[in-house]
């Protein structure tokens, strides 16, 4: 039995205008969730190294729960589970952003914790010796140095979160994969369409990687 397959370039090209409609949703979910996740990461990252146990333990619990469970389970819980609790439906787009925010926030918390703890204690002592308060020392001396060191892992997390949005087709969010599924259902050109979807994701992540490298170089140059 001889198997023959020929890639249909025309089918791939024809799918592009339809698939492009999913890019805004992919970017909105990714960067909307990452922005919130970054704020959560700063909050819980700093709380996780706080000396007061009643602040540190809840932060640690949040980090372990969201790092220890799959993001697919998290988004399904938010979309299908929470409506039973709050008594109303949740928009798929909101559920997607919330899942990215909570999931990335847990990973960013660890990045923040590691970045802050990587700064030598002598930096804090130097700030205090200059008459600065602990808060002023942290935000003026420690945090800027820690933030520079966080850029590479933060960039990695951003790329991971962008790729995670592909899972949200299960709740009907009209991102790239969902658009691809709809198009395939009408044209039966799965190989070509998913090939184009993969290329689009690759284009987004490579562009982001380039931007992050430029930011990292500027950050290092300013040190």
pLDDT for the residue 130: 85
Total-model pTM: 0.91
CB contact set of 19 (below 8 Å; sequence gap of 6+): 176, 179, 180, 183, 193, 196, 197, 200
Percent of the chain scored above 70 by pLDDT?
Answer: 96
CATH topology of domain 24-173: MetI-like fold (1.10.3720)
pLDDT at 60: 95
pLDDT digits 0-9 by tens, 170-186 = 998 888 999 999 999 99
Mean pLDDT of 97-125: 94
Q: What would the pLDDT profile of 194-204 be if each residue is shown by its tens digit?
A: 999 999 999 99
Work out whether the CA dihedral 182, 183, 187, 189 comes out positive or negative: negative
**Is residue 154's pLDDT more than 90?**
yes
Q: How many Cβ atoms are within 10 Å of 104's Cβ, its own excluded?
A: 28
């Amino acid at each position: 039995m001889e198997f023959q397959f020929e890639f249909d370039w025309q089918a791939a090209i024809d799918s592009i205008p339809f698939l492009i409609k999913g890019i805004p949703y992919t970017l909105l979910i990714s960067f909307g969730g990452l922005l919130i996740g970054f704020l959560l990461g700063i909050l819980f990252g700093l709380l996780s190294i706080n000396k007061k146990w009643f602040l540190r333990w809840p932060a640690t619990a949040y980090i372990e729960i969201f790092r220890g469970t799959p993001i697919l389970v998290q988004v399904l819980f938010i979309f299908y589970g929470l409506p039973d609790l709050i008594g109303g439906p949740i928009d798929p787009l909101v559920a997607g952003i919330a899942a990215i925010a909570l999931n990335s926030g847990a990973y960013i918390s660890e990045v923040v914790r590691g970045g802050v703890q990587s700064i030598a204690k002598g930096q804090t002592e130097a700030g205090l010796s200059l008459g600065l308060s602990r808060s002023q020392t942290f935000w003026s001396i420690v945090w800027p140095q820690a933030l520079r060191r966080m850029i590479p892992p933060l960039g990695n997390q951003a790329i991971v979160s962008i790729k995670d949005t592909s899972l949200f087709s299960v709740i009907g969010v009209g991102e790239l994969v969902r658009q691809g599924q709809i198009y395939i259902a009408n044209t039966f050109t799965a190989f070509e369409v998913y090939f184009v979807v993969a290329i689009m994701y690759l284009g987004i992540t490579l562009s982001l990687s380039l931007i992050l490298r430029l930011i990292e170089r500027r950050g290092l140059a300013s040190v």
